[in-house]
Amino acid sequence: MPPIRAAARHAALAAFSLGLLFAGPAIAQPKPTVVVMGEDADEDSVPRGNRIFQRVIAELSETMNLRGYNVYDETAVAMGFTQANRVRRRDAELIEVARAVSSPPLDVVAVFQIYASASKSAYSDIVRPEVRIPGRLLNVRTGQSLGAFEVAGLQLPPLPQGCDRECLLERVGAEAKAIAGDVAAALTAKLDGVVAPRRGAEPGAAAVPGAVAAPVAGGPTAEACGGLPTAYVVRLNGFSAQEVQAAEEYMAAFRCYEHHRPVRAGGAAAEYWYETRSDSARLGRNLRLMLEHMSAPGQVQFSGNTFVLSRVATR
């Protein structure tokens, strides 16, 4: 590339990066949307629809809701395309259902299981309930594990003499609800750590040769990058090799950028795995601004976790 053209591009990239850094007030990243789902494929686990199951899912949802997360009911958001009363579902089905929900887009699925039983003492007629609840967090788009926690092995109060099935369900349900609160608190703490704002996550224009340096991390003009680390697929169609190289430098200068990795590259197309703490709205806006600064007529389409940038050829 001629030195004059390269210098011009670097100057434009510096101006574009600084515009992203300083234009307008800092935009707070919304907390991720969460759906709580129970996996009951194991025949030994408590099935969906059981009153113990319902008390546990309610406690998990309420705890995460009180911690500031937007928690959605699975039946309410998925009833249009799935059978609401299905039981014995594996995690693959749960993840597929979560990915299929588009209104609202779900970011995190909290999957839990319930194992409940009652055992009689070998030395007396005392019967104690036993409850174990493992839970885990998954990124809906990428499948990345965000954390897991399990409560088990607690010495629970014995059941009263003559405790029938109704008594057993109520006593075990009460214990399971209390345990679910502990599991929810631990999972929420793990999720808080994942989405916690990070200083210095913005490489800014300093990552590009010849560009003006970005503000010092943690300084008065630096914005903390919070939000769920999310991966997108970015496809470039119809761009020249020079335009693809310029686009890659622009994308590396976006605010809250984590890193990217080329997936496929050819003469007429390129594809990247792009990880960022920005939400899809901000990333889409930055990509459209990028095309404008590159003076490259094009269109930006978005679906699921994929952005497609298509070059519009002109005379």
pLDDT of residue 28: 55
CATH 3.40.50 spans which residues of the chain? 33-195
- Percent of the chain's residues with pLDDT above 90: 66
Q: Name which of 13-17, 77-81, 260-264 the model is least confident about.
A: 13-17
Mean pLDDT over 273-298 rounds to 93
- Give the Cα-Cα-Cα angle 285, 200, 70 (nearest 5 degrees): 55
State yes or no: pLDDT of 33 exceeds 80: yes
> What backbone torsions phi and psi does residue 147 show, to the nearest 5 degrees?
150, 160
Residue 220 pLDDT: 38
Q: Helix or strand or coil: residue 97? A: helix
At residue 34, does pLDDT exceed 50?
A: yes
DSSP annotation string for 189-211 = HHHHHHHS-BTT---GGGGSTTS
Strand intervals (E) in 59-114? 70-72, 108-112
The residues, ordered by sequence, that sit 6+ positions from 303 with a Cβ below 8 Å of its Cβ are none
Answer yes or no: is pLDDT of 229 > 70.
Answer: yes
Residue 80's SS3 state is coil
DSSP three-state, residue 115: strand
At 226 the pLDDT is 80
pLDDT band for position 267 (cuts 50, 70, 90): confident
Q: pLDDT tens digits for 154-165?
A: 889 999 998 998
pLDDT average, residue stretch 224-248: 90
Q: Are strands 306-311 and 298-303 parallel, antiparallel or unpaired?
A: antiparallel
pLDDT computed for residue 170 by the predictor? 94
Query: For residue 173, what pLDDT is reported?
Result: 94
CATH of domain 230-311: 3.30.1360
Residues 6+ away with beta carbon under 8 Å from 137: 108, 109, 110, 111, 145, 146, 147, 148, 187, 190, 191
Check residue 199 and give its pLDDT: 58
pLDDT tens digits, 40-72: 999 999 999 999 999 999 999 999 999 999 999
Q: Give me the chain's average pLDDT, please.
A: 85
Q: What is the pLDDT of residue 200?
A: 45
- In CATH, what is the architecture of 33-195? 3-Layer(aba) Sandwich (3.40)
> Quick one: pLDDT at residue 268?
78
Cite the residue boundaries of each domain of the chain with CATH code 3.30.1360: 230-311
What is the percent of the chain with per-residue pLDDT over 70, rounded to a whole number?
A: 83
Confidence label for 10 from pLDDT (cuts 50, 70 and 90) = low
178-224 pLDDT, tens digit per residue, is: 999 999 999 999 999 999 887 544 444 334 433 333 333 333 334 56
